[in-house]
Amino acid sequence: KTLAELGDLRGKRVLVRSDLNVPLDGQTITDDGRIRASLPTITQLTQAGARVVVCAHLGRPKGAPDPQFSLAPVAARLGELLGTDVAFADDTVGESARSTVEALQDGQVALLENLRFNPGETSKDEAERGAFADQLAQLADAYVSDGFGVVHRAQASVYDIATRLPAAMGGLVQTEVDVLQRLTSDPERPYAVVLGGAKVSDKLGVIDNLLGTADRLLIGGGMVFTFLKAQGHEVGKSLLEEDQLATVTEYLERAERDGVEIILPTDVVAATEFSADAEHEVVAADAIPADRMGLDIGPDSAKHFADKLADCRTVFWNGPMGAFEMAPYASGTETVARALVEATKGGALTVVGGGDSAAAVRQLGFADSDFGHISTGGGASLEYLEGKELPGLSVFDGEEG
């Protein structure tokens, strides 16, 4: 259901669930990509004369107010980007929220405090979640789901609320789903997926599914050392998930049998410790010294990865190739990003998925427009590619509101 189907919204209170879970350094927002991505839907609603009540989470507080997870800095940034005042309620469904919403005029915007300050938001108990969704529903006449990054969460503001109010998907969720659909149903080939990030255990489901759809899997980041170990190499002090070795071995065998190319680094940047100042050198991936840890893919591997992406028509990338936030270990991620930019120029569909990867490409100086699409969803885009049912999307199939 689209916004247009909600009818005339002038004077109506519209609750918008956005994903404003941005990285913070103290009170400073270090990447405002998710806030920017939420603007079109909010603006569409204000222009329609709605009274817009934005709700969102930040981090993972434990169901109670915790100042370090306050959305106050996000309200300020949202106001700057919208070019208008954003009223900030310092609770979610309490007196402050009620009076803030009541004071809204047509076309004005408010942001509620972090939804996860309430235990009902993330509760596994349906009744507790439902009770919180009921309180949220009292603040609005209609609901718009625009937080793609949370559609994989069966949470009160994502799932339960959509059954309690007239509800629609916002443009951001629709765009994200349209793009990811192009990756899952008949992607243009060759189709390559680049996976990185720290933990292979976060990516098992998606690798399992991609072995049936992708032509090439390029693997870097901390997770690659479990692959190298599964191939019989020593990985020194690098990240290793011993308990995943059997699964990874099975993936390598399956890939070989089914003709899916798995491309692993042949060299790595190995450091004495996890620090920008640590002594580091490039070593062969099968000769990592016992006292070193791999913190980036090496230059030969980065070049090989770029070559493997050059002729691709579809590329999905999730997870940095190394500890890119420290300059000595950023070049693998940078080379892969550049390869995606080149592929984009050549007409390939390139999708960067995930908060970390999106932050990485921006931190390295790339623009969003250098890529086909930068997804606002990390876990959500992976679960979509995994073929899982996402509660925040499926609720619209059987919507009652």
Residues at the binding site for (2R)-3-phosphoglycerate are 34, 116, 153
Q: Which is nearer to ligand 3PG, 221 or 298 (CB)?
A: 221
Quick check: helix, strand or coil at residue 218?
strand
Which listed range, 148-156, 219-227, 277-285, 310-318, lies at the site for ligand 3PG (CB under 6 A)?
Answer: 148-156
Catalytic site includes residue 257:
no
Residue 162 or 285 having the CB closest to ligand 3PG: 162
Residues 263-302 that bind ligand 3PG (CB under 6 A): none
- From 130-138, 147-155, 334-342, 384-392, give the range in contact with ligand 3PG by CB under 6 A: 147-155
Among 150, 240, 269, 349, binds ligand 3PG (CB under 6 A): 150
Strand 28-29 relative to strand 24-25, pairing: antiparallel
The per-residue b/e assignment along 34-65, b for 16 or more CB within 10 angstroms, e otherwise, is: bbebbeebbbbbbebebbbbbbbbbeebeeee
Q: Which of residues 51-80 bind ligand 3PG (CB under 6 A)?
A: 60
Cβ-contact 202, 36 below 8 angstroms = no
What DSSP assignment string belongs to 170-190? -HHHHHHHHHHHHHHSS--SS
> Is residue 32 near ligand 3PG by the rule CB under 6 A?
no
Instruction: List phi, psi (to 5°) of 105.
Output: -100, 165
Question: Does residue 149 interact with ligand 3PG by CB under 6 A?
Answer: yes
Active site residue 379: yes
Residues 324 and 364 sit within 8 Å (Cβ to Cβ): yes
Q: Would residue 355 show up in a list of annotated catalytic residues for this protein?
A: yes
Which listed residue (220, 355, 377, 392) is catalytic?
Answer: 355
**From 12, 13, 17, 34, the catalytic residue:** 34
**DSSP SS3 for 11:** coil
Identify which range of 149-157, 162-170, 193-201, 360-368 contacts ligand 3PG by CB under 6 A.
149-157
> Which residues 6+ apart lie within 8 Å of 49 measured at CB?
9, 10, 11, 106, 107
Among the listed residues 100, 102, 107, the one whose alpha carbon sits nearest the alpha carbon of residue 45: 107
CB 160 within 8 A of CB 361: no
Site mask, ligand 3PG, residues 359-388, x = CB under 6 A? Answer: -------------------xx---------
| Interaction mask 313-352, ligand 3PG, x per CB under 6 A | ----------------------------------------
Whether residue 199 lies in the annotated active site: yes
How far is residue 176's CA from residue 55's CA, in Å, rounded to a whole number? 20
- Position with the least CB separation from ligand 3PG: 21
- Where in the sequence numbering do the catalytic residues fall? 34, 199, 355, 379
Where on the chain is the footprint of ligand 3PG (CB under 6 A)?
19, 21, 60, 149-150, 153, 355, 378-379
